[in-house]
Homo-oligomer: A and B are copies of this chain.
Amino acid sequence: MNSTRAAIIEAADRLFYQRGYRDTSFADIAAAVGLSRGNFYHHFKSKDAILDGVIALRRQKTGELLAQWSAESADPAGRIRSFIHILAVNRDPILEHGCPVGSLCVELAKADHEALADAAAIFTMFRDWLRAQFEALGRADDADELAMHLLARSQGAATLASAFHDRSFLDREIESLETWLAHCLGDRPEPQTQGAHPCSSSC
């Protein structure tokens, strides 16, 4: 059945995120799906094949998410805020397991795994979508730089938040990113003194 295949991929998707690719065994996935180990090879010829399926699923879900954000806001700035807010929406899993895309890429990079390019393509989807939003905001010249900047800051926030299990740091970073965005869009506050204008939240 196709639904068995889908169930395997979904379970693997969750486990790869929670435990990492290498630390997730067939036995783990089998237990999660309620299937015997031997039966796996009817659906996937290897563990790497499951990884390919998981990445394909994540790319599909990412595409749907971006389409949803595009549909929810006509305003590019609102769309970008939707991106920033995934850090808040996924706060708890991020504190425990980091960013699903970033942590997988880090693991695959170390393993010199050929699926790294596929996994990094999820970053590219966000990058391209964000760049399009900045372009729509009249920042054609540095739209890609701004997109990468946002990606990098969200990655750093996720890494440190999970390393320290620090929820309030994550919340501050979200706020800081929103202020940065407002700043970028020309909605900058009146010049203020140093004390009232911390670089960390508005620069």
Contacts and interface: CB of A to CB of B under 8 A. Distances in A.
Nearest to A194: B186
Contact of A163 (B123, B159, B198): B123
Interface in A21-65: 22-23
Contacts of A162: 105-106, 109
The A interface is mostly helix, strand or loop, or mixed, namely helix
Contact of A159 (B159, B169, B200): B159
B198 A141 contact: yes
Task: Work out how many copies of this chain go into the complex.
Answer: 2
Interface residues of A, number: 56
Interface string A133-155: 00000110110011011011111
Interface of A: 18-20, 22-23, 96-98, 102-103, 105-107, 109-111, 116, 119-120, 123, 138-139, 141-142, 145-146, 148-149, 151-157, 159-160, 162-164, 169, 172-173, 176, 180, 183-184, 186, 194-195, 198-203
